[in-house]
Structure 1
């Protein structure tokens, strides 16, 4: 019985101490770490899948740059617009069939990445 009480007196303060520390950690996190403040953007990329050497991009915000990379990170296409546009056409030279990443940079400094599948023309 004495051993049982001794164990309870030792373990009970330890559990309270660990609970106290964990609540302090959660309380000290900044609120911005859990909020997402990026504006919603409607982007249309067509035609999908791409069967020719070009596709179009339309957005409801001003596009300042477009970059197309393959899955190993090589740049296939890159364009920067001094006067931002809301629609643009991407023309690729000799595209190879596969999955590509289209990075769209906006005038406000944000960017969005979309996947595009390029198929061989039929």
Structure 2
């Protein structure tokens, strides 16, 4: 999938296990989402071979949420996704997303969970840091 295709897709779940996207491509996509793009997106999963989180998040305003209690995000298929560290971003309409990355061998998994989850559960952490 090219960055052009990714920018045009508007679905609830994007799961790309073998991605040729660059870190800069993912940064462009996140910026587009924060400005109202891909409004139907609820969850994004990418596996990137050459992963540099600093490049992906370059220029993106957000809050690191380290070592908080475990958060459970329920996906469309009732899959429970859990994490206790994330980078929180807020879209121009107030929608919150949690960015989570985990390393596995030489590749890196990159997920974006957009709240509320599929069960309608709102973002569970205090969001007053934006005010």
TM bracket, shorter-chain basis:
under 0.3
Higher normalized strand content (fraction of residues): 1
Give the number of the structure whose alpha-carbon radius of gyration is greater: 1
Higher normalized helix content (fraction of residues): 1
When the two structures are superposed, what TM-score results if normalisation uses the length of structure 2? Answer: 0.22
When the two structures are superposed, what TM-score results if normalisation uses the length of structure 1? Answer: 0.23
